[in-house]
Structure 1
Amino acid sequence: MTSSERRLRPVIDPDLAAEERDLLAAHPGVLVPATAPAPAPTRDAQPSDRRRIPIVLGLLAALVGIAVLTRSPVLILGCLLLLAMAPAGLSGALRPAAREHPAARAARLRHGRYLLAADFDEPCRALLARAQQAADDATASTEELADTGRIEARENTVVLPRQLWDIATTLRSITDLGDRARIVDPALAEEVADLLAERRAAVETARGAIEARVAALERYAAGIAAAARHQRRLDELRRLLHEQEDYRDLLAATAADEHAAADIDRLAERAGLAEEDLAAALQAALREADLLSSGSSPPDPPQATENPEDPENPA
């Protein structure tokens, strides 16, 4: 098993109900690749077994009646043997049916609406693994920003699964068409060389388009991660500014001349500039992530003001 196979999770159609998606994701062992035949249903005790019980009992009663009327030793002996075996047969027919596990049933009914590592060739598996990692990174960073109100976490829970499913289904088609392009009778290879080259070129073009889409998803995740880092720095700066009030109060209490008062003003000005720079960087990162998610090219982010007297880098 390759490294991409080990880290690849099942990709599930986001149009399925949330309960079914969660059930399938929680039981990957029962899932069957889309390229394999659909799993057969678990054989329960069939209803037809129970419907035959009245018929069997009716026939047995008729035989007993005939044996009594004819007083035939052979029929009487046969009826006794049937009566002796009847309890075992009836208990088997009346035994409660073995229920199919809900996950196995969902895997059978929704076969083809989830895709596994075995459904892709190695290059496609590697691309899908990158896409899943980018989606995970974006989700983790979004959760950090959710409390700030600057980004909607629920949007990622809807958009990212749809992106992954679209990428996975396209990669599945690329794998299938790539396999078909390679399955050609060697005797025909020379005659259809141009046709095969055209097929291979189409597959590579499609693979390149998906690779660009995965790269865009990675840039989006990187943009959200940058915004989360800026938010952490901004939170830390605000905490330091709050603590700075105590130092400013102490300095003000001991200020005896205009020079000390000027020091207080410079502290306040430097802290304000640092907060403005970090806030601007945070907004730029969020705008860039938003542009990447919509497929646009982001503008160059504004540069933070260089300030050698930044309170995070005291002299």
Structure 2
Amino acid sequence: MKEESRPRPVFDPEISGDDRAVLAAAPELLVAACAPRPPRPRLRATTVAARLVWIPVFAFFYGVLPGGWLRVFFLASLDGDELVGGAMRWGRLPIAAMMLTPALQVLLLLLGQTDAAAVLAAASFTGWVAGALRHVREPAAARAAREHHGSYLLPGDFDRPAARLLVRAQRAIDAVLGSQAHGAGLLDDVNNAVVLPRQEWAIAGALAEHTRLRRERRAQQPERLSPRVRAMLEPQDRALALSVRSVTRRIEALEAYARRAGEADDAYHESRVLRELPEQNARYRDLLASTVGDEMAGAEIRGMAEDAHRAERALRERVTSALRAGHELRLPAE
């Protein structure tokens, strides 16, 4: 599938904003709805055994021993520019803990507070074990891709006819959301930020279903079926064709909506130009008054004053027209 006819992933608007951001940031982990749901990660015996050894050693080294200081000294010995960055990758709290905990333990031991030092060491060890366990659990993107499987649609969920239609819908939606009229609030009554993603998801869901039905029909190998059986399948083909025409009309309505948004853009741009004309005319009148003879300047200034009045009237008319164009834009009913 060519890049220009390749649709972007579509997400169910019901997915939370945080999960949607996680999914969008890791497209390589997403699995098409037409494919099986990703399985839960399985822990092999070797992985479990390695973690049983690695996690306690890791927590003891950084939580009880002065592992943080050893790490900083090691990075410093490399004589590189990544000393601060290499250490701060852990975050401020872990850095502070692995730097201060050994010093406090030594201080408590010097003061004879062995029990307090032991409690501090145990608490630090437990905290680093908990941190290590959080690090080795299933990544958030993989979990979201598995839990929301079927609530997002990928290019693999669409055949060529469906992908072309979805690309048309997405281009129309992008044109509306990227328009100056939308940015200026002229289309706020339509609530594009909410309605258009729902439209995109509804259209994508229908096109994905069209794709599944066409793939099933090809798998049935109609050329091998008898005329009687093919006749029994004709109502299904007509139903699919009607659904395709219905979705196509919805996409055409979106494209018409995008064209109206473009017209509102033109009117909004023109209104901004007209809004600046009175001030510009005043500057030109001053220019004429200071550089042209009195008689000629007087005639020009009077003419420009009349032009200014006409520009102001045109401005009001164009602004009204732009607002009307924005408020009249409506999406087709779902």
Taking structure 1 as the reference length, what is the TM-score of the superposition? 0.69
What SS does the corresponding residue of 1:40 show, helix, strand or coil?
Answer: coil
CA displacement 1:183-234 (0-9 Å, x = unmatched)? 3365533122222222112111111111111111111112112212221221
- 1 or 2, which has the higher helix percentage? 2
2:326 is matched with which residue?
286
Residue of structure 1 in register with 2:53 after alignment: 91
**Separation of aligned partners in 2, 1:138 and 1:286:** 11
How many angstroms apart in 2 are the aligned matches of 1:169 and 1:36?
15
Contact kept, 8 Å, 2:10 with 2:152, in 1: the verdict is: yes
Matched with 2:20 is 21
Among candidates 113, 128, 143, match of residue 151 of structure 2: 113
Displacement after TM superposition at 1:43 (Å): 2.6
Relative to structure 1, is the Cα distance of residues 252 and 264 closer, same or farther in structure 2, using a 3 angstrom cutoff?
farther
Match in the other structure for 2:38: 39
Aligned to 1:8: 7
Per the alignment, residue 303 of structure 1 pairs with: none
Q: Which amino acid aligns with 1:160?
A: L
The reply to whether residue 139 of structure 1 matches residue 101 of structure 2 is no
- 1:52-104 Cα distance to aligned partner (Å, 9 max, x none): xxxxxxxxxxxxxxxxxxxxxxxxxxxxxxxxxxxx89627968553222111
Classify 1:131/1:234 alpha carbon distance in 2 versus 1 (closer, same or farther; 3 Å): same
1:178 shift after superposition: 2.1
Count, aligned residues: 252
Counterpart of 1:203, as a letter, is: L
Which residue is 2:276 aligned to? 239
Tell whether the 8 Å contact from 1:138 to 1:224 is kept in structure 2 after alignment. yes
CA distance, structure 2, for counterparts of residue 103 and residue 234 of structure 1: 46
Cα distance change of structure 1 residues 267 and 256 upon mapping to structure 2, 3 Å threshold:
same
Q: CA RMSD in A?
A: 3.2
1:154-165 equivalence runs, <5 A: 155-165=191-201
> Does the C-alpha gap of structure 1 residues 140 and 261 become closer, same or farther in structure 2, counting only changes over 3 Å?
closer
1:209 correspondence with 2:262: no
How big is the shift at 1:273? 3.9
User: How do 1:117-196 and structure 2 match up within 5 A?
Assistant: 117-141=155-179, 144-145=180-181, 148-152=184-188, 155-184=191-220, 186-196=223-233
Give the Cα separation in 2 of the matches to 1:90 and 1:174.
50
> With CA pairs under 8 Å and 6+ residues apart, which has the higher RCO, 1 or 2?
2
Call closer, same or farther: CA 1:4–1:248 in 2, change over 3 Å. Answer: closer
The amino acid of 1:100's aligned partner reads E
- Quote the residue 1:271 is aligned against: 311
Q: Distance in 2 between matches of 1:219 and 1:158?
A: 19
Q: Structure 1 residues 170 and 90 mapped into 2: Cα distance closer, same or farther (>3 Å)?
A: closer
* Corresponding residue SS for 1:24: helix
Kindly tell me: are residues 122 and 189 of structure 1, through their superposed partners in 2, closer, same or farther at Cα, counting changes over 3 Å? Answer: farther
In the other structure, the counterpart of 1:55 is none
Residue segments in structure 2 that go unaligned for 5+ positions in a row: 58-131
The one-letter amino acid of 1:179's match is R
Q: Identical aligned pairs, as a percentage?
A: 35
SS of 1:192's partner is helix
